[in-house]
A and B are shown apart, each in its own frame.
Chain A
Amino acid sequence: MSEEIKITTPLDESIVLKLKAGDSVKITGNIYTGRDAAHKRLYELIEEGKDLPFSLEGQIIYYVGPAPAKPGYACGPAGPTTSYRMDPYTTALLEKGLKGMIGKGLRSKEVIESMKKNKAVYFAAVGGAAALIAKTIKKSEVIAYSDLGAEAIHRYYVEDFPAIVCIDAYGNNLYKSEPPKYRKEL
């Protein structure tokens, strides 16, 4: 496990290629939120050859549907949601320049292959650490699909958002490499 690495968005390819599975990172800059319903809409726009509501080039999408913000808070509790539900739409987004995804849980083979091809990285955030993560979100604005409520696409400005490089652009995968080290089954 290496030292903590500070990265800023948007990500260029040289940064992505330096990140290795197992690195702890602190992310600063703008990131975008999206989960099931927003992914479906982005995917449909790409399929139809239409413009997206924001450029994916070099960006990070955080798989999250936050709780409402209390007065005085920039954002409500906002931990990661399970990523595999976004898998059917992800390859299309990677082809459009998406460089990072933050979520939790396993990804499909297709997504990992596309990450290798398009040089992108998958970060894991700790599921359920929602109140703590929200502290690093300093600004939140809805930029598309406000009708979706918690599922709308938000732009967050984050400072030192804590995550772990889970699958790197070379296809190294912590979910595959780490558990066997602690497996004690006969």
Chain B
Amino acid sequence: MRKIEAREISEKVKNLFLEANFNIGKDVLEALEKALEKEESKVGKDALKMIIDNNRLASTEKLAICQDTGLAVLFIEVGQEACIINGNYVEAINKGVEAAYQEGYLRKSVVDDPVFDRKNTKTNTPAFIYTDIIPGDRIKITVLPKGFGSENMSGLAMLTAAHGAKGIMDFIVDTVRKAGPNPCPPTIVGVGIGGTADKAMVIAKKATARPIGEYNANPKYAQMEKETLERINKLGIGPAGLGGNTTSLAVHIDYLPTHIAGMPVAVNICCHAARHASGEI
């Protein structure tokens, strides 16, 4: 049994949220630069240049890339041999989130009640935490500050086996088409297939954080990722939705076993400010 102080978790969570909000991943930056070379639209090129310059400025001056510093989403793998001492797991995470959003001058975007009061919690908590228990004694934390321009464009379809791969790809492309300029293209499209309605959306969100350039290990799904991306980039939506051939930088599909009667498909879109960071304790 390895003992881990709760404050170590807070510290790690804080640092990861600061890192994610100030620094875009190298994979995203490279994908944006590659897109700039290939973009046909003049306005699209200008938008991409602005996005790239913005990412560099944010990183140099330690400023938030986007003012929507998001809901604090975390995917955490806790080794079953790890024992958290001197504090509570969820509280430790929320403390880390609050500290990052306070110290990093990040926007607090959480309201306590979605329908009636909509009062800002002023701490950007609660965090939304997905925990998996894994073998070992380490804790692996991935943070995703998730902006809502793109989150609002999510889609879920409870398809059936008869829809097949084509039906799935049609649904993904349709969701991106309907989203148009709203989710801040060029986007990263996360797709979860199988499991249950809820689980499909969770793996779709997690898939948005996969490094660009990595494909699903199953070649059939990798082929779907490539084909869907190609179709999306023929929609013409373009950078900032002002026209062009860069609508998405990547499509990341993950899948799970599912029920004999169903084929859930969840689409969770991430804007070009595809912020995430991972670390281990």
Contacts and interface: CB of A to CB of B under 8 A. Distances in A.
A65 interface: yes
Given A128-B272, A182-B244, A183-B236, A67 B54 contact: no
B197 interface: no
Interface stretch (A75-83, A94-102, A138-146, A153-161): A75-83
Interface string B230-244: 010011111111111
A67 B50 contact: no
B40 A104 contact: no
A164 B43 contact: yes
Interface in B115-169: 118, 120, 122, 149, 152
B268 interface: no
Contact of B50 (A84, A105, A132): A132
B108 interface: yes
B277 interface: no
B88 interface: no
A109 interface: no
Which bracket fits the contact residues of B? 35 or more
Interface in B229-260: 231, 234-245
A131 B184 contact: no
Contacts of B50: 126, 129, 132, 162
B interface majority secondary structure: loop
Contacts of B61: 131
Contacts of B46: 24
Interface string A135-176: 100000000000001100000000000101010000000110
Given A182-B41, A182-B236, A184-B234, A131 B182 contact: no
A22 B245 CA distance: 18
A166 B243 CA distance: 11
A175 B242 contact: yes
B120 to A, nearest CB: 6
B241 A105 contact: yes
A178 B66 contact: no
Contact of B271 (A68, A128, A131, A175): A128
A106 interface: yes
Interface in A77-135: 77-79, 81-82, 84, 104-106, 124, 126-135
Interface of B: 40-44, 46-47, 50-51, 53-54, 57-58, 61-69, 105-109, 118, 120, 122, 149, 152, 180-182, 184, 231, 234-245, 271-273
Given A65-B67, A184-B245, 13 more contacts: A37-B118, A67-B105, A77-B66, A81-B149, A104-B181, A128-B51, A129-B50, A130-B63, A133-B54, A149-B122, A175-B180, A175-B242, A178-B41
The 4 closest A-B pairs by CB, nearest first: A178-B243, A183-B236, A182-B236, A179-B236
